[in-house]
Amino acid sequence: MTTATADRDTERRRALRRMKLLATGLLLIAAVVFAVAFALQDAYPWLGYVRAAAEGAMVGALADWFAVTALFRHPLGLRIPHTAIIPTRKDEIGESLGEFVETNFLSDEVVATRLGGLDLAGAIAGWLATPANARRVVAEVSGGLTGIAALLDDDRMREAVEAVVRTHLVEPEWGPPLGRLAERVLASGGHREAVDLLLDRLDDWLAAHPEALTQLVSGRLPSWLPSFVDRLVDERVHVELRRFLSDVRHDPEHRVRQALDDYLADFARRLQNDPATIGRLEDAKARAFDDPRIRELAASAWTAARTAAVDALSDPSSELRHRATAAVVDAAARVLDDQELRASLNARLGDAALHLVSTYRHDIASIISDTVRGWDPEETTDKIETQVGRDLQFIRINGTVVGALAGLAIYTLATLASSLF
């Protein structure tokens, strides 16, 4: 219980005590008036009216005192049936209250009507459009994600990531989907740029390393040939090889390109239909993912990714936080400017809220009954009496006043009737 709540309860108890003293004081005054009027009414007949009013006031005060007291406890400690209603029927009251809330406040009609008149998307977007509010939201979300990341066990997360990768990436066959992808790439001609790039890199490498062919050709010539012949052969082979690469590079219909296209198309078909090719690919995949170095690389990648994410989320001046804030502000501004988008979001929010209420209506209402059921009977009585007891004391006061008027009216009518008959 907060300090403010405790202070309010203390003030309510003081007000309750004052009202109880007032109601009891009126009863005592009525009793004194009755006693005086009863003793002197023979000498002063008009005091009969006073006595009747005081008598009615006492009856009304006592009856309403009994009614109010019976709600919270047994009057005078006597276990009269149907008294101490709240402590003895606490659980039933809690269930009735929960059922009342569920039926009258959480019904589909009430929720739909209430949400239909609200511009939730506009209100949220208007609040988020302020950069300070957007930064606050991003900071809260970042703090929550950082806290979650701190709770994660690295070993378990690595195992979970590995399990997900194996289930969705490693275990399915790669051959058929890769074959279908290769067919689409070949059909679109997208592989030609890759071939051009490969030829360009190979030509650049040959230009930068002319000595790479020194032993490849001349090293296989007879040793008795003069050295200048070796050089001429090497240079000629180097020039012809670069010319050949240039021809392939600039001729889209070159036979080498066609041969490469045919090979790739055949390989794509075999990836989809040839069990031997698919099997070799699966074996290579299994060896790669079972290699301890691959697993170590995955573990280090997870650690690095988590560290980078935590650092970016924890730093208020990080680029990630700035971009997230800007994205939130931009999204909010778009919602405010686009009436159709805002209406769509309101409809979605309303449907989501209605679904949640419909699904968890009983669970929400059961919070009330479960909470009341867990209260101590005396604590329950004290809580309810503190909240409403002061107003109930007005019943006693009103009963005293109404009883006095009723007693006076009855006595007056009886007196008039006796005088007439």
Q: What is the 3-state secondary structure (H, E, C) of 17-66?
A: HHHHHHHHHHHHHHHHHHHHHHHHCCCCCCHHHHHHHHHHHHHHHHHHHH
Amino acid 401: pLDDT: 92
| 44 conformational bin, left if phi > 0, alpha if psi -120 to 50, beta if neither | beta
Amino acid 213: pLDDT: 64
pLDDT, mean over the chain: 82
DSSP SS3 for 4: helix
**Across 82-86, 126-130, 170-174, 188-192, which has the greatest mean pLDDT?**
126-130
Of 210 and 228, which is predicted with more confidence?
A: 210
Q: Report the pLDDT averaged over residues 6-17.
A: 84
| 82 conformational bin, left if phi > 0, alpha if psi -120 to 50, beta if neither | left
**CA triplet 324, 328, 331: central angle to 5 degrees?**
135
Comparing 230-234, 258-262, 264-268, 341-345, the range with the smallest average pLDDT is 230-234
Of 90 and 276, which is predicted with more confidence?
A: 276
Exposure string over 209-240, b if 16+ CB within 10 A, otherwise e = eeeebeeeebeeeeeeeeeeebeebbeeebee
Amino acid 298: pLDDT: 65
**Per-residue pLDDT tens digits for 39-75:** 998 888 889 899 999 999 999 999 999 998 888 888 8
Amino acid 405: pLDDT: 93
Tell me: pLDDT of 367 over 80: yes
Residue with tokens 């703090």: 143
Amino acid 104: pLDDT: 83
**Per-residue pLDDT tens digits for 65-124:** 999 888 888 888 888 888 888 888 888 888 888 888 888 888 888 878 877 777 888 889
CB atoms closer than 10 angstroms to residue 52: 23
Amino acid 210: pLDDT: 73
| 264 conformational bin, left if phi > 0, alpha if psi -120 to 50, beta if neither | alpha
d(CA 295, CA 43): 113
Amino acid 225: pLDDT: 47
Q: Which residue in 60, 8, 17 sits closest to 408, CA to CA?
A: 60
Q: Report the pLDDT averaged over residues 274-286.
A: 86
Q: Report the pLDDT averaged over residues 174-195.
A: 85
Share of the chain above pLDDT 90, in %: 16
d(CA 84, CA 377): 10
CB atoms closer than 10 angstroms to residue 389: 21
Of 163 and 271, which is predicted with more confidence?
A: 271
pTM for the whole thing? 0.50
Q: Are the C-beta atoms of 61 and 399 separated by less than 8 Å?
A: yes
Amino acid 2: pLDDT: 62
**Per-residue pLDDT tens digits for 343-356:** 888 888 888 888 88
Share of the chain above pLDDT 70, in %: 89
Q: Are the C-beta atoms of 339 and 122 separated by less than 8 Å?
A: no
Q: Are the C-beta atoms of 257 and 248 separated by less than 8 Å?
A: yes
d(CA 283, CA 285): 5
**Per-residue pLDDT tens digits for 308-325:** 877 888 888 888 888 889
**CA triplet 178, 181, 185: central angle to 5 degrees?**
135
Tell me: pLDDT of 211 over 80: no
Q: Report the pLDDT averaged over residues 249-265.
A: 86
Q: At what angle do helices 319-337 and 292-314 cross, to 10 degrees?
A: 70
